[in-house]
Amino acid sequence: MPRKKRPEGTRAPNGASSIYLGEDGKWHGRVTIGVLDNGKPDRRHVERKTEAEVINRVRELERLRDSGKVPKAGSQMWTVEAWLMHWVETIAAPSVRENTLAGYRTAVYKHLIPGLGAHRLRKLEPEHLEKLYEKLTDRGAKPGTVHQVHRTAKTAFNVALDRGRLDTNPAKLAKSPRLDEDEIVPLTAAEAKRVLAAARGRRNGARFVIALALGLRRGEALGLKWTRIDLDAGLLRTPRQLQRHKWKHGCDDPHACGGRLHKVKPCTDGCARHAKCPPACSLDCVRHASSCPKRRGGGLREVDVKSKAGRRTVGIPRPLLELLRTHKAAQDEERKFAGTEWQEGGWVFTQPTGRPLDPRADHDEWKALLAEAEVRDARLHDARHTAATMLLVLKVPLPAIMEVMGWGDAAVAKRYVHVPDEVVAEIAGQVGDFLWSDATKPSTPTPPRSGDDSLIDQLQRLLDAAKSSSYPDDEEPPALRVVG
């Protein structure tokens, strides 16, 4: 049935859709969707052979417009490669930390673009991502690497979804390979005491005592300055941390600059030069920026701590205070001995010249300390797990543990607080005393002390908080801040 003609001398209201027969013999439709970035109306054009086809398409665009799901202008032209490059360089780069950005760029340029870059953004399916994850696994990529690629894709496509470039996020529907986390066993009380005893005789040994007693992160401990420690009041502040950033080329031709360091051929079987052989360089390799004469942006840099909760004030135990005073006196003697070679920065833990400690040297010193103390091999970050577990054993309330450790979310405690064997045995003993107690004795259990929650209550609250946090594996969990 043909459309009724509008009476002569009248016109459609502003923003109304229009359908007409063009001089080319085809039917055309125009639908006002919204406003473009330059302020002009975003008016979409539809062209079909028949009037019915145009009407159907115009009505479909109007429904999408009214529901807020209409594609952005030009979104059909985006490829996965174009969007990922735009996201990582224009959107993510100004807003995230240097190390986070380095991880994003590795996932984007090394894995996502080579594997998915040619797809149209709006036609990307979860199956495409799952096939990429399978290929990465078959090539020998570790599950952690595949999950980093998955999280990066999910973050990038979430932004595309928010901006109307996508209707759904395919990475949220895709399933990444299972990631089995390594079991973390914190140091026992006996092991921690042996480490503390060995640390007293080593240069900068107080650094590892702080790790075990206060649970500071590596960057927080290496970034400590004397102005942030009040030895009289016994308080320590952690507003900043020290991180190593990668160097960037400052020259015009990064490939030629690192030419003498390019690895042309892979190592032969039985290579005795490397503990872990590095891969051969690509034909267009632009790495080796640390050797560039005009290198920039790298080295040790002082940055803010990773979260607002990380900016905290922590009390220092009395034995650690005495150790810090001794360490400060020893540093004063080193400063006098170094003379003009000393580079004053106010750092608590330094090299013999006053420069801050390098994270790699700090790691090697920790391994040497464990060997000297005859303690099993453990990560340096396990000292933080040990400190959190120690607070639980001491029956410190969970809100106080979160404050000391610098956590803003109770669910994080599930990863750090572990129940040691001694506590498990103690709980078993309490259960045995309760169930198999003498029948002649009063059956009413002893109520807990006022103002002191039992260990079981704290563990139950910790598990409840962890179970209540249902969030994707790449997103921050909802904040469970402590009030009061």
Residue 159: CB partners within 8 Å, gap ≥ 6? 87, 91
Indicate if 122 belongs to the active site: no
| pTM score of the predicted model | 0.68
Catalytic one of 194, 207, 217, 249? 217
Catalytic residue among 248, 255, 335, 355: 248
Three-state secondary-structure class, residue 162: helix
- Are 180 and 112 spatial neighbours (Cβ–Cβ below 8 Å)? no
- Catalytic residue among 44, 218, 384, 385, which? 384
Q: What is the pLDDT of residues 243-261, one digit of tens each?
A: 888 888 999 999 999 988 8
Question: Residue 287 CA to chain centroid, in angstroms?
Answer: 24
Q: What is the per-residue pLDDT across 340-367, written as a single tens digit (0 to 9) for each? A: 999 999 999 999 999 999 999 999 999 9
Contacts with 397 (C-beta within 8 Å, 6 or more apart), sequence order: 453, 458
Task: Give which of 85, 90, 84, 79 is closest to 157, Cα–Cα.
Answer: 84
Q: Which secondary-structure segment (H or E) carries 243? A: strand 240-245
Q: Is 305:239 a contact under the CB 8 Å cutoff?
A: yes
Residue 177 is predicted with a pLDDT of 83
Told to judge if 87 belongs to the known catalytic residues of this protein, a careful annotator would answer no
Chain mean pLDDT for the chain: 85
Is 295 noted as a catalytic residue in this protein? no
Which is nearest to 323 in space by CA: 191, 207, 214? 207
Q: Which of 381, 414, 418, 461 is catalytic?
A: 381
DSSP 362-402: HHHHHHHHHHHTT-----TTHHHHHHHHHHHHTT--HHHHH
The residue count of the chain comes to 484
Known active-site residue 109: no
Active site residue 384: yes
Q: Is 418 a catalytic residue?
A: no
Residues of the chain with pLDDT under 50: 1, 450-452, 469-484
Among 105, 106, 114, smallest CA distance to 135 is for 114
